[in-house]
């Protein structure tokens, strides 16, 4: 499979871009993670990570990357007693999470459309 993919990517100036687009398209069917405030949701099964088979799961990246990750870092630090509690109601936190999810989905959609356009051009010019 890797050999076949490498041949598809080619070795010209656009091979790296083709590799990124096609790799992205292969991973597109995976379910997108959503931000949410646990205090708002009553169904704890929504906190689990299906693939890892763990009942409670959170994920975040470097807080310099996304606002949502800054909030997660602050909430996690407060829950561990490393900082004072955040003075936000759970509904306000959920509102922020909803906004972050909306922006993330819009960004993903633009990325998908861009990949589709690039792939269409690739297929059209590829012998």
Q: Exposed, middle or buried: residue 120 (CB in 10 Å: 0-12, 13-18, 19+)?
A: exposed
Can you give the pLDDT at residue 99? 93
Q: Residue 63 sits in which domain range?
A: 33-125
Q: Within this chain, do residues 67 and 20 fall inside the same structural domain, yes or no?
A: no
Can you give the pLDDT at residue 2? 67
Residues lower than pLDDT 70 in the chain: 1-2, 27-31, 63-65, 127
Separation of alpha carbons 25 and 115, rounded Å:
8
Provide the CA 109 distance to its chain's centre, in angstroms: 12
At residue 54, φ and ψ (nearest 5 deg) are -120, 140
Can you give the pLDDT at residue 40? 86
Q: Within this chain, do residues 56 and 90 fall inside the same structural domain, yes or no?
A: yes
Q: What is the pLDDT of residues 1-15, one digit of tens each?
A: 667 777 777 778 888
Can you give the pLDDT at residue 91? 93
Count of the separate structural domains present in the chain: 2
Q: Within this chain, do residues 41 and 93 fall inside the same structural domain, yes or no?
A: yes
Angle, CA 8 vertex, CA 4 and CA 9 arms, to 5°: 120
Q: Within this chain, do residues 26 and 44 fall inside the same structural domain, yes or no?
A: no
């Amino acid at each position: 499979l890797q050999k076949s993919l490498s041949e598809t990517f080619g070795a010209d100036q656009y091979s790296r871009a083709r590799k990124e687009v096609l790799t992205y398209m292969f991973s597109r069917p995976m379910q997108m993670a959503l931000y949410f405030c646990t205090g708002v949701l009553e169904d704890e099964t929504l906190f689990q990570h299906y693939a890892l088979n763990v009942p409670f799961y959170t994920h975040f990246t470097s807080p310099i990357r996304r606002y949502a990750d800054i909030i997660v870092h602050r909430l996690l630090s407060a829950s561990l007693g490393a900082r004072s509690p955040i003075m936000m109601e759970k509904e306000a936190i959920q509102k922020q999470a909803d906004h972050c999810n909306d922006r993330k989905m819009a960004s993903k959609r633009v990325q998908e459309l861009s990949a589709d356009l690039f792939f269409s051009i690739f297929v059209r010019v590829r012998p």
